[in-house]
Structures are given as structure tokens and as C-alpha cells.
Structure 1
Amino acid sequence: MDYQAAFAIGAAGMAVEKMRADLASLNLANANTTRTANGGYYRAGRLVTQSAPGFDALMQAGAAAALPLPHASGVVTVEAPPRLLLEPGHPHADSRGFVAYPQIDTLAEMVTIMNATRAYQANIASISAARSMAQEALKIGGGR
């Protein structure tokens, strides 16, 4: 595998994890939003990713095959009922005095952000390792 492929794999992983952290941050930012532009309550989103095939599939495809990179294939909305809080004085309260808030678990969103951060850092480490190997190869080849 050439070094450009190693850099591309790390960059693709970093892009996916950045999107995952961005979406979790958006969910956290809207945890107390009572209305969206469409008039309903905010629904949390989850990133759907598509992973590359396993090692066996890559070996069967041969060295000439392009490496399939991981990527985000879309965002799905979590269809959970709203969290209803009794706030009769709130301008968005219904006839019974309840306000609909999104069903967002702030702890789960924080864990998602932490996991995405760690995976992002792991991808940076893999790119750094590939860079170091490329530099060492240049030193070895340049010494002749």
C-alpha cells in the first residue's frame, strides 16, 4: 500500500468522526428547543456510516482494487415521543399546560462526542505513523 492510501484512509475516518461530533453537538444544542422552523419539536439525528469491507474482501479483490473508504451515508432522525413538561405559563404550552421538548439524552450525546474525539485522535495517530514511515523510507533511500 502506498502512503497516499494510508493518508486517504485516515482523512476519511477523520471526516466521519467530525460529522459524528458535529451532529451530537447539534443535538445537545437543541436539547431544550421547543419549536423548529417547521413548528414541531426538534428530533435528534444519528449519523449512518458505511464501513469498508473486511480484510478478506480486500485480499480477494486484489492489489489493483481501490480501497473503499468509510463514509457517512446519511442522517436518520430518531422518532421518539417528546418529553412533556408541565409549564402552563410557557408560550408553547398546549391546552393542558404541557410543553414538548425533544427526547435527547445529554449523557449519551456527550459520550458520542468523546468517542468521536478519541476515534479522530486515533486517525491522526495513524496518519502521523504513515508520515514517519514515509520519512524514514526517504532517509534510507536517500543514503545511497
Structure 2
Amino acid sequence: MDYRSAFAISAVGMGLEKLRLDVTAQNLANMNVSAPSNGKLYKPLRLQVSTGVSSFSGEFEQASSLAEKMLKSVKLEEIDVSPRMVYEPGHPDANESGYVALPGVNHLSEMVNLSTALRAYEANVVAMNAAKTMAIKALELGN
């Protein structure tokens, strides 16, 4: 395996984790956005990634195909959750009982996703730096 394959795997991982961070940020940004009675309420989103890889060791040797599979299997899906009902009788979007429907975004879950994505991104950066260091050492040994 050449070093470009290791760089490609880390780059795909960093790209996916950045997408996960973007989706989490979008969910948190729309957490308290109500919809008018005739409008559509925001539904939380999740990034679904499935590789369909049967054995990691076999796919690691063919890193470019792994990167292509990962990029092709990314889906953005809406989560079907019930809205959060908050009592605010003076709100313009309140129903006749005084409740406002807000998206069913779970703040704790989103913060866990945020933390997990950050740590996974950092792990990919560490892996890329390790591959870079190995490549540099190999070049030094070759001289």
C-alpha cells in the first residue's frame, strides 16, 4: 500500500466527520424554530454512512475502492420524531391551547454527536500525520 492510500482514507474520514458536524449544527440551529400552523415543521437530520465492507483487511489493501464506497453510501435522512410542545400563549404560532410546536431535536443527543464527530475528525488527522511522518522517514532512509 502506498502512502496516498492512507491519505485518501483519512481524507474521506475527515470529510464525513465534517458533514456530520454540519448536520449537527443545522439541527441545533433549528432547534427552537417554530412553524406557522399551515407550515412544515423542521425535522432533525442524521447522516447515515454504510460501507458494506465484509472484511476491513481486504478493503484496506484497496483503499481507493473503500473511499469510493464510503462516498457513495452517504445518506442524509430525516428522523421521524414527534414535535416538542411548549406552552407560550403569546407566540404568533401558538395553537388555540397556547402551545407552540417546536422540532423534536434532542439537545443532549446532538451534543454527543458533536463531541463524537470532533474526536473522530481528530483521529483521522492523527492518522494522516502518522502516514506523513512515515513517508518522510522513508524518504530520509532512501537518501
Q: TM-score range by the shorter chain?
A: 0.7 to 0.9
Change (3 A) 1:114 1:68: same
CA contact (8 A) 2:5 2:64 kept: no
CA contact (8 A) 2:8 2:63 kept: no
Q: Distance in 2 between matches of 1:83 and 1:2?
A: 51
Aligned AA (1:75): L
Provide the secondary structure at the position in 1 that maps to 2:75: strand
Among all aligned residue pairs of Structure 1 and Structure 2, give the percentage whose two residues are the same amino acid. Answer: 40
Counterpart in the other structure of 1:76: 77
CA contact (8 A) 2:91 2:100 kept: yes
Provide the secondary structure at the position in 1 that maps to 2:142: helix
Q: Distance in 2 between matches of 1:127 and 1:57?
A: 20
Q: Distance in 2 between matches of 1:8 and 1:103?
A: 36
1:70-108: per-residue Cα shift (whole Å, max 9, x none)?
Answer: 335211101111111121111001122211011111111
Aligned AA (1:124): V
TM-score, normalised relative to structure 1: 0.87
Change (3 A) 1:64 1:42: closer
Provide the secondary structure at the position in 2 that maps to 1:68: helix
Note the C-alpha offset of 1:40.
1.8
Aligned AA (1:96): S
User: What 5-or-longer segments of structure 2 have no aligned partner?
Assistant: none
Counterpart in the other structure of 1:6: 6
- 1:67 maps to 2:65: yes
Q: Distance in 2 between matches of 1:127 and 1:41?
A: 41
Change (3 A) 1:94 1:134: same
Q: Distance in 2 between matches of 1:88 and 1:65?
A: 57
Q: Distance in 2 between matches of 1:77 and 1:30?
A: 13
Aligned AA (2:107): T
User: What 5-or-longer segments of structure 1 have no aligned partner?
Assistant: none
Counterpart in the other structure of 1:105: 106
TM-score, normalised relative to structure 2: 0.87
Note the C-alpha offset of 1:58.
3.0
Q: Distance in 2 between matches of 1:107 and 1:64?
A: 38
Aligned residues: 138
More helix by share: 2
Aligned AA (2:65): L
Q: Distance in 1 between matches of 2:35 and 2:7?
A: 42
